[in-house]
Amino acid sequence: MEITPIDFRGQPAVRATGADASTLTVALHGAQVLSWTTADGGERFFISPRAVFDGKTAIRAGVPICCPQFNMRGMLPKHGFMRNLPWEPQPADTAAGTLVFRLRDNEATRALWPHAFEARLDVTLAPGRLRIALTLTNIDHAPWAFAAALHSYLRVDDIAQARLEGLEGANRWDSLRDDRHVETSAALRFDAEFDSVYAAPAKPLRLVQPSGTLEIAQSASCTETVVWNPGAELCARLPDMPADGYRHMLCVEAARIDEQVTLAPGAQWQGWQQLTVL
């Protein structure tokens, strides 16, 4: 694996190139995976043409890290603060194809969330596969609790032709209707705004399109799967999205949000998502 520091739309980033010519790009801002191209040259993540790259704002692209809070479920800024801070690149494990980034508590984080922590992101590139693992360590003298999600913006050719398989039988909370029920569809299809939290199934999901299929797996420690597409109406109101942006993305997120994790001093938690081209 070849690793190169780069400038990505004015912001520092790291690019890794695999032996099969696949590429991985990660911004230091938020340790946010921005791009994954497979050996065929296909981009697997959505990057909004209107995404803001100012080193402060959350980037509408790739895989933002939502932590230690999900959405507005708490007193912190939306989705916490980890996606909005610079992370430090660590020595890569080139033999394993892994880029490593670290964030530790500092004066800015303690002003929002008064806990000592270390967060680590390991991103592993392999032929036809990408694995993103978030590890949190409590380096404080008291326990603390958190929620987390890997908010993956998966690129689709056309949302009208995409379907997501593998959630039939899972408990679902439809946040748009505040309705709880068991999912009855063998394949989800998307023709309007969609925003639901599912109890994560034991088996991987499949995002199926005419151009191919992507398998989506997540760790058992991520007990929920969030599925979101803004639809035309909401997308038109988002300043960092083009009007037709919803047609080319689907968020399928590995999450631990319904019940927070409580970490004792010295304890660790890890959650991961793995994407495989079938």
Contacts of 159 (CB under 8 A, 6+ apart): 190, 229, 246, 247, 248, 249, 250
Q: Which residues are tagged catalytic? A: 151, 253
In sequence order, which ranges of 131-225 are alpha helices (DSSP H)?
Answer: none
The Cα–Cα gap between 118 and 140 comes to 10
Provide the 10 A C-beta neighbour count for residue 268: 11
The Cα–Cα gap between 228 and 241 comes to 15
Three-point CA angle 11, 12, 17, nearest 5°: 120
Q: Give one DSSP letter per residue of 221-254, joined into a string.
A: T--EEEEEE-HHHHHTT-TTS-TTGGGGEEEEEE
